[in-house]
Structures are given as C-alpha cells and as structure tokens.
Structure 1
Amino acid sequence: MQANYIFIGPSLGKIEGKLASNYLGVEYYSFQGIPYARAPVGNLRFKAPLPAEAWNGVLDGTKEGPACPSVHVLFRWVIGNEDNCLNLNVYIKELPKNGVPLKPVMVWVHGGGFTYGSNSTELYGPEYLITEDVILVTINYRLGIFGFICLEDEHLEVTGNAGLKDQVMALKWVRENIISFGGDPDNVTVFGQSAGGASVHFLTLSPLAKGLFHKVIIQSGSALSPWASGVRGVKHIREYMKTEENDESKILSMLQKMPTKELLTIQTNIPNMIIAGFQRFFGPVVEKPSKDAFISEEPEHLLKSGNYNKVPIIIGTTSNEAAFHRGIRVFEGLRWSFDCKLEIPLDLRKKLSEKEEAEVVKKIHNFYKLPEDVCEESSFELKSDNLFVHGCHRSMNYHIETNNNPIFCYKFSFEGRMNHTKNVSLAHFPKTHFLCMYLATMVGTGFMRDMLMKIAYSVGFEKISGSAHGDELSYLFGCLLSRQMKPNSSEEKTMKRLVKLWTNFAKHNNPTPENNGGDLGIKWIPIEKNKHHYLDIETELTMKMNPFSERNKFWNDIYDEYSKKRN
C-alpha cells in the first residue's frame, strides 16, 4: 500500500514522498534520494563536496537515489553512478504538525571497508527502527578511489578524506533541514558499523564535525582499527594506470577524465586484503594542517590529548567478528595470508625491528595456540582481536581518560536464524545459501518460498560459535533477507531489545533510562576506569565485566612493552 504525498521542504524546494509500512504493517513516510551535495563530477571528482543547490518543481523522493560507484560485494558488477550519488533518505512516523515536539534524529553511516555499500533498503530498511518515535536518516558517501584518493600537492585540492567530508556535509544538511521533517537538529545521534563505525569515530575526532551531532554509536570499528588507514600520493596506482607520469596535476587530469568503470577497474586491481598489517590504499588519511582538513593529527594523539568532540558513546563488537572471513574469501576470491607478521597491527608493526617482530610473532603463536599449519578457523580469535576488538578496546581506554560523558560498552552474542553474515559465511555452499535466501525473499510467501528456505538451510554449516561481523545489523534494519519476522520468536525479541536500546540512547542519552528502560529488565552501566562494564546481548541481556579480558590484556602488554622500548 503506497500513496504519494507532497512535502514542503526547506529553501531547497518541494519533495514528494510516499507511504510505506514497517514490519508490523503500520504506515510511515519515506523520502528517498534527497541530494545533500552537488554531484561530484567533472572538476569536482575527488574533491571536497559542495552544498546541494535548490531545485525547480517537485523532487521525486519516492524511490532510492543512486549509490556511489563501487563493485557489488557479492555479484562483482559495477553499481551506482556519480551523478546525485551524494544523497540521503529520511524516514518519519508521521508528517510534522504544529505544537508537536521535535523528534530525535538518528543518522546511519553504512560500512563496507570504505569500498562497498550504500544506503539502500536492501541492506538498511527502516522497518524496525521506525517503530520507535525517532527520525531515521541513511546516507551515501563516496567510496574507494572516488572518496579516498589523496594527492601530496595540496594546491590540487585533493587532500584526501572526501568520503568523510561527504559525511560532514550530510550532517550539515541534517542540521539545516531536518526540522522540516519534524526532527530536532539539537538531538542528533550518528551511528554506523564496520567502516561506518570507524567513520563515526573519525567524526568525533574531526573539527569539521564539531556541533553537528550529540551522541554516537560505534559498532565493530574505530579510528584505531588497523584497516582504517589509507595512503598518500599516487605511487600505488600509477602502474595500474599504465603510465610513467609523475606529475600529480597531470595524473589528476587523467583520472578526472576516466570513465567510472575504468576507475573501478584500477581500484579492484590494487591489492586490498583484510590483514592487520596490510595497508589499505583507499581509506582515511591524516591531512596537512589547514582549516579545511578533516583530520590533521594521528587519531591516537587526538584521543590521548582529549582534543576532540566529546559526546556520549555506545561502542562494542560481536562475539566472533572474524567468522565472516570465510564468506568474504569465497565471494571475493581472496586468498588469506597466515604469515603472523601480517597479523601484527600496522601501527605497531611499523615500529618494530626485525628481531622484535620475530618476538611478537612467537608471542602470538603461543598465546593463541596456533598450529604450525595455521588454518582460517584456528585464527578467528586472532583476526577478531587485531582487526576489530582491540581497536575498540584501546579507544575506550582513551575515551574514559578524556571524555566525561557516559560510555556504554556491549558485546553482541546472540545467535539466531537472522545472523545472516555468519550463515552465508559458514555455509558449505555459501552462494547456494545466499541465492536461495534471496529468491525466497523475492517470492514472498507460499510453498515456493518454504521450499527455497528449506534448501537454503539444508546446505550445511561449519560449527563455529559466536556472532559474526555484521550479524547485529539484521536486528536493527529490515534487510533483503530478513523481511519475514516470526512473532514472539527469539529473533523478534532480540530485534525489539536492540531497537529499544539504540533509540533510548538517541532519545535520552541513556539506553536504559529510569522511566523508559524498565521493560528491558536491566540497567546498562557505563564503563569506569579499570572497570569495563559491558552489556552482553544474548538470548537475554546480562551485565558483565571486561569483554575479551585475557585477549585484550595480551595486546595491551604487547603495545606497552614495545612502546616503552621506543621511549
């Protein structure tokens, strides 16, 4: 059931939206594909975004706008285009009325390794979150070479972090325009997962984002994650451009004239493996100091100094982050290196001598009890720690020293049929499982859907415990594979709890406030110095102490020992 409505926007113009239904069948209003910045094409390609211009007539907000260019993470075809890819979606329960209080705003930043993803409802539908009285905004930002190439010549105005500057521009749009949708520009929560979580953390560190948000939720990623760091210059792409040119201005001119598909071919040919000690070529960089720099100091320095945007924080990970690796290997055709030198986080590895590196490798083998012939499954804990867990842990330790706002820690441990990342990753035939789940969703209901679901779950799965990287997303958003929610199931209960916790935080600065958190049956205690209280989100909610304590201590000791040797 859909009906079109005219929404009178701000100074930009009129927007036409539509009615949609949440997972309970209750209607809400959807406004999609709204440009928040000018199309980053021609001479604007790779550069910081410019504000969107007003439009004539009525903007069609009844369908999604284009994704920013990338290669589809599963099917490997080119998706998106640069024209109007800097768009956002706004979802509201009701049209604004005079005398009705402004509503809290939640702005979602998608993940995808700074290389993939979009704000598409295939992954991030509002059907769950919109059951609460909040306004949900989901944004696109430039990815890969388009959003994270960084040239040394600052006069060329390609200083890096264009994708992060897109996020800042989207938040400026929210500040200036969300009141037209009934949203409160003084109560904005930014949340994201994986590279989205790292992006949200970077936003807390950037002077450009000051005052644009008031709370953050950081899921399975941080500015200290070893993969959240790019490189400067063009040395790494020259050979893939098949040019001997060294002049950055000429290289920029060549890149700006290239078709999108050719640029993506260059990008996909550059190695980009998810290994702690491997440099991500297209990712956040520390820029040269200027008023327009997104970040001009190392994240660790900013966290230590307290020179950042201090707001209340929720931060956490899943219980077995690296269980998703098998799926990525299958779908991307990657080979995983188990050279333990490359399992040392990059920021630490760069400081080590050859002798010290060998010492750390031996410590890793002994602590994680790795066999001589290291297999992927035997390294799940190691990869979880050095890619996700310890970066979040270090970030919490710094924040507790310099941020007086509450910091809430969690671990998502729930294992259910909607843990789609884990299911796809650990299926014996992952492509078959995914395809059957996809077709079952397309069919909707009836015998054919039931048969496809039966086939999907008959392929067999590796028996590995814990929730994988991204599994919590299926309980926050209605995604392509999760449209059918069984009433009173453990999956629905988990979804309701997670949605309540996240939206309570957006509304009250507290996920379990006195008057609104009672139905959750628990009080979420913020962390303290040397007391890392955390909420274990399992079949039930439980407060515990010090997540992954022994593993985090191992890496704390490694960092402390080899940092002291440098002092």
Structure 2
Amino acid sequence: MALAGYRNQGLSDGDLGARVETSTGPVHGRSCTGIYGDEYVSFEGIPYAQPPVGPLRFKAPQPVEPWTSPLDCSKTGNKPLQFNQYTKTLVGSEDCLYLNVYVKELNSATPLPMVVYFFGGGFEKGDPTKDLHSPDYFMMRNMIVVTVSYRVGPLGFLSLNDPAVGVPGNAGLKDQLLAMKWISQNAAAFNGDPKNITAFGESAGAASVHYLMLNPQAEGLFQKAILQSGNVLCPWALCPLENLPHRLASHLGMESAEHVTDAMVLDYLQNLPGEDLVTPYLLSPSDHLNDCVFQFGPKVEPYKTEHCVLPKHPKELLSTAWGNRIPVLMSGTSFEGLLMYARVSIAPYLLTTLKTEPEHMLPLDLKQNMPQALARNLGQRLQEMHFGDTDISMSPEAVVAYCELQGLLASHSPGCKVAT
C-alpha cells in the first residue's frame, strides 16, 4: 500500500512505539500523558478505507488495501476537507478516511470497554482529531476511545438520481459504517471488548449514530448508544433539497447545469479541485425559511445498491430498527437554539419574516402538508404563545425568543418524538 510505505520512510520497529497487529496490517503508536496526568497509548491516522479520491470521489468507500510494513500512527491524521462559512477558512484533505484509537492499557486482565465517537458539524464540517476531541478525560478510566473521520459536505453527501453514475448519496454515512466494521473486527487487537462498544456523537454525530441504529448492516457492531443533541428526526438531519449537485455545478461555472444530465454534472465536478467543491454557499432565503440550516447532508437514496444505508425516510424505519433493542442515552443542552444566534444575526429575515409569514413558525413537514391559510393561522397562534408581547424584530428579547424556538424545533421536539 503506497500510503503505508510513504508514512514509514526511514522508520523501523525500533523507531516507533507500541505495535498492534490489525486485520489490515501492523500499526505503531506512541505513549502519551493526558492533561490530568494519565498515561495512555495513541494510534492516530489509521486508514480504514482507500483514499476517496479520483474515481472514488463521491462514491461508497472501499475497504483499505492491507499493508505489511509497520504503519506510523504516531502523528495526527487528516481532517475531512471542509470550508467553514463563519470563519471563512479551508482545512482538511479529501484523503481523510482515518480513525484514531486511544488505549488506556494494551494489556489487562479483562478486555476494555470501548467508545466510538462521531463528530458533529451539520454534516458540513467537523474535527475527529485531538485538536477538538481529545481523549484525556476518558483516559482517567480503563477504556478505549476511538474517533472517526468521515467525508462531509458535497464530498460526503452529493446525491445523483441516475443509477448509471453510481452516486446515490450518503457516502459519509457509508464511511461511518465501514469504520464501525473495522473497529469491531479489530477491537480485540487493541485490548478492547468487541461485545462492549458504545457508539456516540454530538449533533450530526448523534444523528449519524442513530442512522447506524436504523441500518441492518450495522447490527451487532455496537451494543449501546449515546445521542447528544441530535437524532434522525431533527429537521437538519435529512436534506430536503433537490438538484443540489446541478446547483453546485452551475455555481462553479457549468453552463446550463440545470438542464444537463447527471452524468455530465458528475463528470464536471469530478474534474474540479476538491477545494472548489466545498467552498460555495448555495442556500437561498427561501431555503433558510424552509428549515435548511445546512447544505449537503443525508438523503433518502433514489435507488438501492449493495451499499445503500437509507432506502426510506427515517420515520418509516424507526419502528422496526434493530437499534430499538439496545440501551440508548439521549441528551440535550439547556439552550440548544443558541447555535442559531450567529445565523439569525447574519440573516435577520429569518426572524423578521415571521411577522408577516407566521407559517414559518411551524415544522417543515406540517407547513408543507396543510393549506397555507391553516398553516398561517396555526403559525400565528404559535407566535402569540411563544413571543407574547415581544415585537418581532431584531431586539435582544426577540432574538433570544427566536433562538429558543429553534432549539425546540431543531432538537428538543425531535428528541421527544424518538423517545416516545
């Protein structure tokens, strides 16, 4: 494997730390001391899939090719390529399908429990590395922590309807499934208990774990789950937009992109640098008012393949999901909607439009499935109940009330639906 050879140039076993034999090849880690003084062994940047570049861009991940030379996993792996619309910074790499394993003890009387963490970030951005998600707190206990990098934005969630092009979407969710298979298969090699794995995540990471709980292919890969501030019923967890790939191609200079075939769009996007693909902002004011907080994200796949992870709307999968049979801890924060403060500050119409179009107070599925007059009437009643005498403006009081409303709609209400 070229990647393994590159990362080990000039290295021998004597140059590296603890060695573990995985099912795909040997890896070397390094000894670390956490901020609380606890010692542990770190293995960072372990590949679990082939680099999703070239013809594999947008496609389902392929299992990593085995290697024989020791792989140096003492350095931080790549973050997924992403553009932060708030900070206007571009970070990461398309070659991002790696995971990190942090082990308290490589030898113990009994195997250690494992937790696998999926980062949040609206399926558009996120960080699996110690820069943001360090294991120090967990390393105070005898356990193993794994963090997973997966594709985000259009690189992870571009979806085209034509079966001939082989891009039905949800590549990022398929990355997560392949990572969980590798983790389950290699748990014992790291002194972990493959029958005591907890998958957890925050926001989009929580929704990701919930999607795994709906997917029969993931059954048995973990035995417990923790959903922090997210699940599959959150409005941002399923992309409602159509023709986003064509919109992206048009934004990037393709003429008449809205009228060309999926194959032509794919060919055009395949020949652009990844940095160009993740930078554009495509959402319109009407998209925002229809609860589109993020751009690319999970979608019901337009046709079934052997890799399909979402054949139906998640609401249709919940009642029979294998994940209903495992212990689940769900949680949220006291002010989830504070996340929307920056958004409404940048786009005040999200709040001020409610004054004349109160139907936007309603969840999208309700708003779109009832007569506009009824939706507007219900929205007005909800507005009176939620805002009271507060004027619908950009006053501090109204902004706080708006953020509280968004917290209820985007997190707390979906959580209650799942729990019941």
Question: TM (normalized to structure 2)?
Answer: 0.87
Shift of residue 366 of structure 1? 1.8
CA contact (8 A) 1:73 1:116 kept: no
CA shift digits 1:405-441 (9 cap, x unpaired): xxxxxxxxxxxxxxxxxxxxxxxxxxxxxxxxxxxxx
Shift of residue 105 of structure 1? 1.1
Is the alpha carbon distance of 1:108 and 1:388 closer, same or farther for their aligned partners in structure 2, counting shifts above 3 Å? same
CA shift digits 1:138-162 (9 cap, x unpaired): 0011001001111001221111111
Is the alpha carbon distance of 1:73 and 1:109 closer, same or farther for their aligned partners in structure 2, counting shifts above 3 Å? farther
Residue 227 of structure 1: SS of its match in structure 2? Answer: helix
Q: 2:11 corresponds to which residue? A: none
Q: 2:361 corresponds to which residue? A: 343
Residue 278 of structure 1: SS of its match in structure 2? Answer: coil
- Residue 205 in structure 1 maps to residue 207 in structure 2: no
CA contact (8 A) 2:234 2:414 kept: yes
Q: 2:153 corresponds to which residue? A: 144
Residue 19 of structure 2: SS of its match in structure 1? Answer: strand
Shift of residue 281 of structure 1? 3.6
CA contact (8 A) 1:119 1:139 kept: yes
Give the Cα–Cα distance (whole angstroms) in 1 for the partners of residues 246 and 372 of structure 2: 25
Give the Cα–Cα distance (whole angstroms) in 1 for the partners of residues 284 and 174 of structure 2: 25
- Residue 237 in structure 1 maps to residue 248 in structure 2: yes
Shift of residue 30 of structure 1? 0.6
Q: 1:190 corresponds to which residue? A: 199
Is the alpha carbon distance of 1:296 and 1:195 closer, same or farther for their aligned partners in structure 2, counting shifts above 3 Å? same
CA contact (8 A) 2:247 2:282 kept: no
Shift of residue 352 of structure 1? 2.0
Is the alpha carbon distance of 1:206 and 1:225 closer, same or farther for their aligned partners in structure 2, counting shifts above 3 Å? same
CA shift digits 1:103-162 (9 cap, x unpaired): 111000000000011202121000101211211000011001001111001221111111
CA contact (8 A) 1:279 1:346 kept: no
Between 1:205-214 and 1:4-13, the stretch displaced more is 4-13
Is the alpha carbon distance of 1:376 and 1:197 closer, same or farther for their aligned partners in structure 2, counting shifts above 3 Å? same
Q: 2:106 corresponds to which residue? A: 95
Counterpart pick for 2:401 among 355, 360, 378: 378
CA contact (8 A) 2:103 2:145 kept: yes
Residue 131 of structure 2: SS of its match in structure 1? Answer: helix
Give % identity.
34
Shift of residue 274 of structure 1? 6.5
Q: 1:35 corresponds to which residue? A: 47
Matches within 5 A, 1:447-458: none
Counterpart pick for 1:22 among 22, 34, 41: 34
- Residue 178 in structure 1 maps to residue 187 in structure 2: yes
CA contact (8 A) 1:16 1:58 kept: yes
Counterpart pick for 2:382 among 364, 387, 408: 364
Q: 1:389 corresponds to which residue? A: 412
Residue 286 of structure 1: SS of its match in structure 2? Answer: coil
Matches within 5 A, 1:296-315: 296-303=311-318, 305-310=319-324, 311-315=326-330
Q: 1:555 corresponds to which residue? A: none
Matches within 5 A, 1:137-536: 137-230=146-239, 231-233=241-243, 234-243=245-254, 244-245=256-257, 246-266=260-280, 268-271=281-284, 277-278=291-292, 280-287=294-301, 288-303=303-318, 305-310=319-324, 311-327=326-342, 333-335=346-348, 337-338=350-351, 339=354, 340-370=358-388, 371-374=390-393, 375-397=398-420
Is the alpha carbon distance of 1:238 and 1:24 closer, same or farther for their aligned partners in structure 2, counting shifts above 3 Å? closer
CA contact (8 A) 2:246 2:265 kept: no
Q: 2:9 corresponds to which residue? A: none
Shift of residue 220 of structure 1? 0.5
Is the alpha carbon distance of 1:260 and 1:334 closer, same or farther for their aligned partners in structure 2, counting shifts above 3 Å? farther
Count how many residue pairs are aligned between Structure 1 and Structure 2.
388
Residue 332 of structure 2: SS of its match in structure 1? Answer: strand
Is the alpha carbon distance of 1:323 and 1:56 closer, same or farther for their aligned partners in structure 2, counting shifts above 3 Å? same
Unaligned ranges ≥5, structure 2: 1-14
CA shift digits 1:178-228 (9 cap, x unpaired): 211001112211000111111111111112222211111001011000111
Is the alpha carbon distance of 1:131 and 1:327 closer, same or farther for their aligned partners in structure 2, counting shifts above 3 Å? farther
Residue 101 of structure 1: SS of its match in structure 2? Answer: coil
| AA aligned opposite 1:148 | F
| AA aligned opposite 2:224 | K
| AA aligned opposite 1:299 | P
Matches within 5 A, 1:76-155: 76-83=88-95, 85-96=96-107, 100-155=109-164
Give the Cα–Cα distance (whole angstroms) in 2 for the partners of residues 336 and 217 of structure 1: 35
Residue 151 of structure 2: SS of its match in structure 1? Answer: coil
CA shift digits 1:503-551 (9 cap, x unpaired): xxxxxxxxxxxxxxxxxxxxxxxxxxxxxxxxxxxxxxxxxxxxxxxxx
Give the Cα–Cα distance (whole angstroms) in 2 for the partners of residues 187 and 94 of structure 1: 16
Give the Cα–Cα distance (whole angstroms) in 1 for the partners of residues 381 and 364 of structure 2: 17
Is the alpha carbon distance of 1:328 and 1:93 closer, same or farther for their aligned partners in structure 2, counting shifts above 3 Å? farther
Give the Cα–Cα distance (whole angstroms) in 2 for the partners of residues 278 and 341 of structure 1: 15
Shift of residue 280 of structure 1? 4.3
Give the Cα–Cα distance (whole angstroms) in 2 for the partners of residues 53 and 342 of structure 1: 49
Residue 196 of structure 2: SS of its match in structure 1? Answer: strand
| AA aligned opposite 2:152 | L
CA shift digits 1:462-521 (9 cap, x unpaired): xxxxxxxxxxxxxxxxxxxxxxxxxxxxxxxxxxxxxxxxxxxxxxxxxxxxxxxxxxxx
Shift of residue 168 of structure 1? 0.3
Is the alpha carbon distance of 1:59 and 1:207 closer, same or farther for their aligned partners in structure 2, counting shifts above 3 Å? same
